[in-house]
Amino acid sequence: MGLSRPPRAITIDDVAEKAGVSAKTVSRVLNNEPNVRPAKRELVMKAARELGYRPNPAARSLAGARSFLIAHLHDNPVPEYITAVNSGIYEACRANGYFLLPEPVDRNAPDFLDRLQSFLMTSRADGVVLTPPLCDDPDILALLNDNGTDYASLSPARQPENTPVMRLDDRLAAMEMVRHLIALGHTRIAFIAGPAGHNASTGRYEGYLDALSEAGLKSNPSLIAEGDYSLRSGLEAARKLIDADPRPTAIFAANDDMAVGAMTAIMAAGLIVPGEISIAGFDDTRLASAVWPALTTIRQPVAEMGRRAAERLMNSDDDNGLEEVFDFDLIIRQSTGKASD
């Protein structure tokens, strides 16, 4: 019996033939060069996907066929969070001779998967760090898997198979914050949740509910509002919450930006923080200590999580297990105080 030949690698010429364009046009599309009509770009990317085209490994860096690039794909409305993750990845890259390639992803764009495919082909990154909510997007995960791209996730909803995950116990951290507020005598504690679909936001909401239940307190739908992690959404949510009757004596927001927005709304309404309403956040961004009163919050080591995610991608022999859970700290500042009644 003769040996079967391995399947022939798909080439740019194959993509060009299927798309009905020149090989030069295919090259320009795959390298994300300008001046290619959107319809033609879409045609080329569709052909590349259907044929299963992969860049020629020989085109990668000669040293071990590595590009020495770690990409960070993100779609998060909080600049502070992204900056912190990037700083951690950069630290790991600099220490190991790699380079950081951050790339924002707009999942609302109709061609976002084509653009992401083009980015992966062009950058040839050795690994990708994913932050919420991208780490839970099945289309993105499928694309990375199809391309054979290694990735590590920060706080995904589920543990991907054979993929490093860095996470915080958001539920437990939120419970600690609500316990702090209850210890100050608060029983009407409102919560501003992050966007649905964010695993961290879900964990923090569950922690809020669990801490209330633990103390024998019932949750009140009129004391729960949803934001999108932005300062403005926290402001708008707080305006609704302070109209509740009876009014909450404390508001816990799922991140610092929303907490500061809530604080702004409360002060604009002529109420005193923390004298009449205490405010608490989550993340301990620079904003938390820049406002007055300074914000009580949960500190999570975002930069450290980013650093470890990058290190895991650089060293596949790391024996720390696929999941690493990081510690948090309750940071008590001036925005929380004893309940007013």
- Per-residue pLDDT tens over the stretch 45-78: 888 888 877 665 444 444 445 789 999 999 876 7
pLDDT reported for residue 34: 60
Say yes or no to pLDDT of 122 above 90: no
Selection from 5-14, 77-86, 151-160, 222-231 with the highest mean pLDDT: 222-231
pLDDT reported for residue 307: 97
Residue range 23-49: mean pLDDT, rounded: 77
pLDDT reported for residue 57: 43
pLDDT reported for residue 1: 44
pLDDT reported for residue 61: 45
pLDDT (tens digit per residue) in 92-117: 999 999 999 999 998 888 888 988 98
What whole-number distance in Å separates Cα of residue 340 and Cα of residue 241? 17
Write out the DSSP string of 136-171.
G-HHHHHHHHHHT--EEEES-SS--TT--EEEE-HH
Give Cα 132 distance to the centre of its chain. 3
pLDDT reported for residue 63: 40
CATH 3.40.50.2300 residue ranges of the chain are 170-300
DSSP 8-state assignment for residue 321: -
Please state, in angstroms and as integers, the Cα–Cα distance from residue 174 to each residue in 25, 165, 198, 207, 210, following that order.
52, 20, 15, 5, 9
pLDDT (tens digit per residue) in 125-172: 999 999 988 998 999 999 898 888 899 999 888 877 788 999 999 999
- Which CATH code fits 170-300? 3.40.50.2300
What whole-number distance in Å separates Cα of residue 46 and Cα of residue 42? 6
Residue range 71-87: mean pLDDT, rounded: 88
CATH 1.10.260.40 residue ranges of the chain are 8-56
- The residue written with tokens 């992969």 in the block is 54
pLDDT reported for residue 320: 64
The answer as to CATH 1.10.260.40 being correct for domain 8-56 is yes
What six digits make up the tokens of 225? 């509002």
Residue range 16-35: mean pLDDT, rounded: 76
What whole-number distance in Å separates Cα of residue 141 and Cα of residue 134? 8
Burial label, 14 (beta-carbon count in 10 A; 0-12, 13-18, 19+):
middle
pLDDT reported for residue 62: 42
Say yes or no to pLDDT of 3 above 70: no
* Amino acid making up residue 67: S
pLDDT reported for residue 32: 63
* Torsion-angle region of 116 (φ positive above 0: left; ψ -120 to 50: alpha; else: beta): alpha
- The residue written with tokens 């600049």 in the block is 79
Say yes or no to pLDDT of 39 above 90: no
Helices (H) and strands (E) in the chain, counts: 12, 12
